[in-house]
Amino acid sequence: MKEITGVVERTFGSVEGLKVEMDLVGHLMPTADPDGPHWPCWQKSLSLGFGYRDEGFAKWGAASCSDFGWIQKAGITQEVLLSGLGRPESCIHSPDEHTTVDDVVALAQSVLAYLSAD
């Protein structure tokens, strides 16, 4: 924290008329319902990539927290298209966290499907 504070003070401390405040935030903000106009396309893309029916992927606000919760709180957007490679056996957020090549490929295919014109 001292290092970060020092860099901020050295960088911005002498700028006339600029007031710099820093807040230490020790948690991530929960995401709200991410409903929006892009969800149907993302849902279909996930279905194509992972090979599930569209209904196999439901929109959700994170039961845990995400940095995207802060984006929603700031009013930048309410729609957050979440996805990931977490499975119960993936040891999420532990030293042994891992995923599979198949899931990486499926997510990449989903992203490509989402970005495609059709």
Helix/strand number for the chain, H first, E second: 4, 2
Mean pLDDT of the chain: 82
Q: Give the residue carrying structure tokens 């230490």.
A: 24
Strand, helix or coil for residue 31: coil
Residues 6+ apart with CB under 8 A from 60: 33, 34, 82
Number of domains in the chain: 1
Q: Looking at per-residue confidence, does 28 or 70 come out higher?
A: 70
pLDDT in tens, 105-115: 999 999 999 99
Q: What mean pLDDT is predicted for residues 41-58?
A: 84
For residue 92, the enclosing domain spans 2-115
Q: Which residue has the higher pLDDT, 102 or 39?
A: 102
